Amino acid sequence: MPKPGRARPAAPAQKILDLEIEFLGSGGDGIARVEAGTLAIPRSLPGELVQAETGGSVGRQARGRAISILRASPDRVVAPCPHFDDLCGGCALQHLSDPAYADWKRGLVVQALERAGFADPTVAPLVPTSRHSRRRMDLAVRRRPGGVVLGLHRTHESSIVDFSQCPVMHPALFALVAPLRSVLSSLSALRHEGSVIGNFLADGPDLLLRTDGPLTPGDRAKLAAFAAAEGVPRVAWALGAGPSETAAQNFAPHVLFAGHRVEPPPGAFLQASAEGEAAIVAAVLAAVPDRLTGKSRGIDLFAGCGTLSFPLAEFLRVLAFEGDEAAAGAVRRAQAGSRVEMTRRDLARQPLSAKEFLGASMIVLDPPYAGAAPQMPAIAASGVSRVVYVSCNPVALAKDARFLAKDYRLLGATPIDQFLWSAQVESVCVFERKSKP
- For residue 392, indicate whether it is catalytic: yes
Amino acid at 247: A
Q: What is the dihedral of CA 302, 308, 313, 319, to 10 degrees?
A: 0
Q: Which of 166, 305, 392, 429 is catalytic?
A: 392
**Beta carbons within 10 angstroms of residue 295's beta carbon:** 9
Q: What span, in angstroms and rounded, lies between the C-alpha atoms of 180 and 227?
A: 10
- Catalytically active residues are 392
